[in-house]
Amino acid sequence: MPISKAALVAWMAAMFMATALPVQAGSTGNGTAGSGFSQYTYEADANRLCKGDTVLWGSGANKGIYFVKGAGPYSPAGKRVGGFYACKTDVTKAGYKIGE
Q: What is the DSSP string of 25-89?
A: S-TTS-B-TTSSS-BBSSHHHHHHHTTTSPEEEE-GGGTTEEEETTSS---TTS---S-EEEEHH
pLDDT of residue 90: 93
Percent of the chain with pLDDT over 90: 22
pLDDT in tens, 23-71: 334 444 545 555 678 999 888 999 999 999 999 998 877 788 898 887 8
pLDDT of residue 26: 43
Percent of the chain with pLDDT over 70: 62
Residue 35 zone, left/alpha/beta (φ > 0; ψ -120 to 50; rest): alpha
| Domain parsing of the chain, residue ranges | 22-99
pLDDT over threshold 80, residue 73: no
The closest alpha carbon to 72, from 33, 98, 39, belongs to 98
- In this prediction, residues 76-96 reach a mean pLDDT of 83
> Could you tell me which residues are beta bridge partners of residue 85?
40, 57
